[in-house]
Structure 1
Amino acid sequence: MARYEEVAADLRQRIDQGEFPTGGTLPRYEDLTAHYGVGRGVISEAVGILEREGLVRPVKRTGIVVLDRPARRRVTRDQTITRDPRRGYVFPAASHPGEAWQVHGRPVADKQPATERVAELLDVEPGAPTVRRRRVTSPAGEPPFQLVDTWLSDTAVQDSPQVAEPSTGPGGYLDRLEEAGHGPISWTEHLRVRMPTREEAALLQISPELPILETVILGRSGRTSEVLEVTVRAIPSDRVELVNELQRHRSASWPTSPVETA
C-alpha cells in the first residue's frame, strides 16, 4: 500500500469513528503533514481519495469539510411513466412511495447560455440564450440529492409562455406544453457517468472529484416530433445504485435444449 493510501485509510477510519464529525473539518495540511511525517503531496493525494469517495470537500476559507453521507439509495429502474392527478407526470426516480422530498433554495426559471450537450440535443448554437428551469431536491432532512435542469426550446416557450415561469400551475410545465398542442409528448432517456462542473459540485455540496450520474430525458412533441425539452438530472455517484431486473429471452429458456450435432 502506498503511503498516501495508508494516510487516506487512517483518516477514513478516524472519520468513521467520529473523531472528525460531519460538518467539521480535518486538521490543516500543516498539521496533517506533521502528524503523519509526510510531505504535502502525500496529504494532497490522500485527501483526493477521500474526495472521490464523497467523504470530504475542500471549501475555500473554511478547510477540508467532512460531509454527511446519506445511505446509498437502491433504485429499481423501469421504463414506466405514471401520472399523479396533483403533480402531473412522474418519471422513474429515486423516491419511494409516500416519501416526502424538499427543495433546497428556490426553483429558478431564467435564460442561460445553452451548454454544448444541451445545444446538441435542442439543435441550437452552443451558448444560445435558452430558458432553463432549475431545482435542487432531496429526501426531507438530507443534503442535496439531485440537481435538475430543464431546458426548453424556443418553440416550447412561444407556444406556451407559462413554461418559462417558476410556477406553471397544476400538472407542471409538461401539462402546459400538451395543452398548447404538443400532446402526447414522448420521451427517451440517456444515462452516463461524468465529472461535475464546479457549479454542480457547489450546488450538490460535493467534491469536484466525485463523479456524478447524469440522466438526460428528451421530450418530443406529439405533433411535430421536435425536441421541446431536455431535462438533465445530476446525482452524486455515492448516493444511488441502479438496479434492473433481467429477463430471459425465449432463446435462453430453461431447461436448455440439447445441442444439435452435425
Structure 2
Amino acid sequence: MTNKKRTAREVADDLRTRVLNEEKQPGETLATIAELATQYDVARETVRAAVTMVASEGLVRSVHRRGVVVQGRVRRRRIRRGQVVTRNPHTGYVFPATHDAGEKWVAHGTPHRSLEAAPEIVATTFGVEVGASVLRRRRVTSPAGEPAFQLVDTWLSPQAVTDAPQVAEPSTGPGGYLDRLEEAGHGPLSWREVTRVRMPSAEEAKLLEIATAMPVFEITMTGYSARNDQPLEVTIKVIPGDRVELVADLVRGESAEWPVSPVTPSEGSRGAGGTTP
C-alpha cells in the first residue's frame, strides 16, 4: 500500500511553520520549487499551489531563478482615513495619511517622471485612448529602515502639462505640482478618493518586493479643476495588503440612541426596514 500524497494545503501548513520557526532569515532562499517537490514527494504543481497560499500571507515570495524566498515580517499600521485636506506652509497640501504623522519616510530608488501608456482608469478619467502617452511621476516609499510600503503614481493630464509646464520638470517648486496647477488658473482644486482591493501586476509586485498572490489596497485620488470641473491629475497609491488595516469609529444615529425608546403596539405592527447583522 502506498502512502497518501500530501495536499497543497498540508504542504502550505508545513512551509508556514518552517518560515515562522525561522529556518531561514528574511531574504534567504528556503528552497527551489523542484527541491520542495522532492522534499515533500509531491508534484511541482502541488508545491506551486502551496507556495501561493503562503505567499498570500506575506511570508514568502517566488523569485525567478532563485526559488522560494522568505519575506521579512512587516509592521502593520492601523490607518484612520479622514476627509480633511490641510496645508503645510513649506511643502504644500497634506492629504489623509497612510502612515503616522511625524514619521520619517524615505524613497526606494530614485523617483522619476516619464511619458507612459495610460492604463484604463487614467485614460477613462482624462478622456484619452487607452495606451496614449501621459505624464507619470512615480516613487516607491516607506518608513526609514523598513521594506517598501507603497508605490505612488501621479498621472497628469495633457491639459495640466500644457497649462502648467513645470509639473513635468524634475523639481516642481515650492508647494509641488498642485500649487503650479492652481497658479495656472485651476484653483482651488477639489479631490475625490476611491479605495478598492485587487491583485498586483507583476511590475507592482517586483517594485514592492511582494508575491503576486498578495492582495493590495489601491487608493485612487482624482484632482479636479475649479475652472471647468475637469480632472487634471490621478494619484494611485498601491499598498500591500499585509501593511495596513483600515479603521473607522462608528457613530450612532438618532434612531440608535440609548436607551431605546419604547415601541407602541401600533408602531410595532408596521414592520421595520432593514435587519440587524
The code of the aligned residue for 2:187 comes to: G
1:104 aligned residue (94, 104, 108): 108
Q: Does 1:94 align with 2:76?
A: no
The structural deviation recorded for 1:106 is 0.9
2:30 aligned residue (11, 26, 37): 26
Q: Which has the higher contact order (CA 8 A, sep 6+)?
A: 1
Q: Does 1:155 align with 2:159?
A: yes
Largest Rg, 1 or 2 = 2
Q: Does 1:248 align with 2:255?
A: no
Show CA shifts across 1:13-41 (max 9, x none): 11111112100011223332232232222
2:60 aligned residue (46, 56, 60): 56
Structure 1 runs of 4+ aligned residues shifted over 6 Å read: none
Residue of structure 2 equivalent to 1:192: 196
Against the structure 1 CA distance between its residues 30 and 114, is the aligned structure 2 distance closer, same or farther, given a 3 Å change threshold? closer
Contact 1:146 1:233 in 2 (8 A): yes
- 5+ residue gaps in structure 1? none
Q: Does 1:207 align with 2:207?
A: no
Moved more, 166-175 or 132-141: 166-175
Map 1:166-177 to 2 at 5 A.
166-177=170-181
CA root-mean-square deviation: 1.3
Residue of structure 2 equivalent to 1:40: 44
The code of the aligned residue for 2:76 comes to: R
Contact 2:151 2:238 in 1 (8 A): yes
The structural deviation recorded for 1:179 is 1.1
* Alpha-carbon distance between aligned partners in 1 of 2:159 and 2:34, rounded to the nearest angstrom: 56
Residue of structure 2 equivalent to 1:131: 135
Residue of structure 1 equivalent to 2:235: 231
TM-score normalised according to structure 2 size: 0.91
Contact 1:133 1:166 in 2 (8 A): no
* Alpha-carbon distance between aligned partners in 2 of 1:28 and 1:60, rounded to the nearest angstrom: 10
Contact 1:89 1:171 in 2 (8 A): yes
Contact 1:52 1:210 in 2 (8 A): yes
Show CA shifts across 1:39-65 (max 9, x none): 222211111111111111111122211
The code of the aligned residue for 1:61 comes to: R
Q: Secondary structure at the match of 1:246?
A: coil
Query: Between the two proteins, what is the percent identity of the paired residues?
Result: 55
- 5+ residue gaps in structure 2? 1-5, 267-277
Q: How many matched pairs?
A: 261
Contact 1:107 1:166 in 2 (8 A): no
Contact 1:78 1:244 in 2 (8 A): no
* Alpha-carbon distance between aligned partners in 2 of 1:203 and 1:27, rounded to the nearest angstrom: 22
The code of the aligned residue for 2:17 comes to: Q
Show CA shifts across 1:88-127 (max 9, x none): 1111122212100000111111111110111112221111
Contact 2:190 2:223 in 1 (8 A): yes
* Alpha-carbon distance between aligned partners in 2 of 1:163 and 1:133, rounded to the nearest angstrom: 9
Residue of structure 2 equivalent to 1:80: 84
* Alpha-carbon distance between aligned partners in 2 of 1:217 and 1:260, rounded to the nearest angstrom: 48
